[in-house]
């Protein structure tokens, strides 16, 4: 089985695609997803889980506390 890896850039690309497709920012989507603020029923169920997961992972990988790790990951082949 082929392993697939992601990095900050690939997560950003996925988030941007979801944002364009649903005309909603990832931050607004995630807040609504967690708190029920707003309606995410237009987002397909499988996209909801993926979007939330991608956003959480992107935030953890791109935070200022992880700058050195982020640089190392960005330099890894995708």
Give domain limits for the chain: 8-75
pLDDT by position in tens, the chain (length 78): 666 778 888 999 999 999 999 999 999 999 999 987 678 888 998 999 999 999 999 988 876 666 666 677 677 776
Angle, CA 37 vertex, CA 8 and CA 45 arms, to 5°: 60
The Cα-based distances of 23 to 5, 49, 50 in angstroms read: 27, 17, 16
pTM listed for this prediction: 0.74
Report the candidate in 6, 3, 21 with the shortest Cα–Cα distance to residue 61: 6
The pLDDT value given to residue 78: 61
């Amino acid at each position: 089985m082929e392993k697939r890896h992601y990095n900050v850039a690939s997560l950003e690309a996925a988030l941007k695609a979801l944002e364009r497709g649903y005309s909603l920012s990832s931050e607004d989507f995630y807040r609504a997803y967690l708190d029920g603020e707003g309606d995410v029923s237009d987002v397909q169920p499988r996209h909801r889980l993926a979007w939330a997961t991608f956003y959480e992972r992107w935030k953890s990988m791109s935070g200022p506390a992880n700058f050195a790790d982020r640089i190392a990951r960005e330099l890894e082949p995708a």
